Structure 1
């Protein structure tokens, strides 16, 4: 399904998004869902739909402006070409502000590239109330994790070669040193283990991580 919604960024520009809400859900808590490197595809829309079924308004900013990647090489090219600073401070923050104006508390939930942006949102979107990252870590130059003021949850695979365990441990050390409220979970699984359309899908790990995410959202948004 193409983007069916628009929101205004802090710079005044409009951005497209996929939006779904519970019925009735005008004032329900919100979750900004942030895509993997594929773009807004059927899988990320299903994530948003599941959140709506759980009682949340879900907004997925279209970071690629309608484009999708059909293979890993194209996805890497699109991700490399993305301005992460603009995406975090304008698209993600604008999506948070949009949901905040129309209801209650708001969290981000991102996957891979989106996991990076979810954590960047926690650093750069003061309106945010909580953040969840599935296998994604921001680079050191993107900001100081110790400045995060909201609760953070992370889900990482011990077989992940893109974000290996030692980088997760280093990130956790920074959160702990700064007394950031966090919970990080490790799974005996590879990268992108929750994507049911991908080669490395791990149903057991995905189910557990999803339930932990719902529990986290319920605790911090309701």
Structure 2
């Protein structure tokens, strides 16, 4: 079943490769639709180049794992204090797995009391952007097939007995949902911050576990209409979705973004913490 779900996902996210143009009769999936935003000046201008930051924590460590396409992938792991089958997959913004993501992963690890293995997944194979122009290029160039292979590799790394939840921001918000689909019955919950959702109800029907969606009403790309359609589609798929909308823009939870909203970020983190603790039974 796990391999079948991966093949279904892979076929879905490769049907519109980034160099292709979808036909008029189909809508691209959330990952492809979000990646295409990297070419739009308006979307790039919604982001401020991240401020320099060096992660100084000592709790995490770099790891590598195999993937179905034969090219090893990597990540940054905070290992549970005691052996645990609980995993949280963290998906980075369009900049890549930078030190901000390592810091946020550690924050989530500590919030969950060190009871969950927290794996920040590197979807760019070591590439990291330090400005919005390069971030847009990396996001557009991210191969749908490679992304699917990395997600499957992370799932295999966690193991067949793992209970997995996912979380991500921006491009990672879309990837969080697709990782949830890849994880099949092992997926127990998904958190997505202002990511482009999947529109295909038949695909959403394969998703396991509830979803927490955190969005900004001032977001020009993942706008209120997109969020409302997601709610409608999830209802049609018979899935549980909780949405919180903030009077904020895209990237409101990123302190290096000009639209950073401290109050919304604090509230969203509280909801994320409560959602994950309930999901893991902590």
Is contact 1:32–1:96 with CA below 8 Å preserved after alignment?
no
Equivalent residues, number: 219
Is contact 1:120–1:142 with CA below 8 Å preserved after alignment?
no
2:230 aligned residue: 171
Question: Aligned-pair RMSD on alpha carbons?
Answer: 2.2
> Among residues 198, 202, 207, which one is paired with 2:266 in the alignment?
207
Q: Following the alignment from structure 1 to structure 2, what is the Cα–Cα distance between the partners of residues 121 and 109?
A: 9
1:122 aligned residue: 180
Is contact 2:180–2:187 with CA below 8 Å preserved after alignment?
yes
Relative to the length of structure 2, the TM-score reads 0.71
How far is 1:111 from its partner? 0.8
Cα-to-partner distance string for 1:175-204 (whole Å, 9 max, x where unaligned):
011210121111111111111122221111
2:276 aligned residue: 217
How far is 1:10 from its partner? 3.8
> Among residues 75, 85, 94, which one is paired with 1:17 in the alignment?
75
1:154 aligned residue: 213
Is contact 2:201–2:233 with CA below 8 Å preserved after alignment?
no
Q: Following the alignment from structure 2 to structure 1, what is the Cα–Cα distance between the partners of residues 165 and 159?
A: 10
How far is 1:13 from its partner? 3.8
Whether 1:67 and 2:127 are equivalent positions in the alignment is: yes
Runs of 4+ in 1 over 3 A off after TM superposition: 10-13, 138-143
Whether 1:188 and 2:247 are equivalent positions in the alignment is: yes
1:94 aligned residue: 153
Q: Following the alignment from structure 2 to structure 1, what is the Cα–Cα distance between the partners of residues 172 and 201?
A: 14
Q: Following the alignment from structure 1 to structure 2, what is the Cα–Cα distance between the partners of residues 141 and 151?
A: 17
List alignment gaps of at least 5 residues for structure 1.
none
Cα-to-partner distance string for 1:132-165 (whole Å, 9 max, x where unaligned):
1110024547973233222111100001112111
Whether 1:57 and 2:117 are equivalent positions in the alignment is: yes
Cα-to-partner distance string for 1:5-28 (whole Å, 9 max, x where unaligned):
112224454211111134x24316
2:187 is paired with a residue of what secondary structure? coil
1:174 is paired with a residue of what secondary structure? helix
2:10 aligned residue: none
1:90 is paired with a residue of what secondary structure? helix
Is contact 2:198–2:204 with CA below 8 Å preserved after alignment?
no
C-alpha spacing 1:195/1:8, structure 2 compared with 1 (3 Å): same
C-alpha spacing 1:80/1:146, structure 2 compared with 1 (3 Å): same
Whether 1:30 and 2:90 are equivalent positions in the alignment is: no
Q: Following the alignment from structure 1 to structure 2, what is the Cα–Cα distance between the partners of residues 143 and 35?
A: 27
1:39 aligned residue: 96
C-alpha spacing 1:14/1:28, structure 2 compared with 1 (3 Å): same
Greater radius of gyration (CA): 2
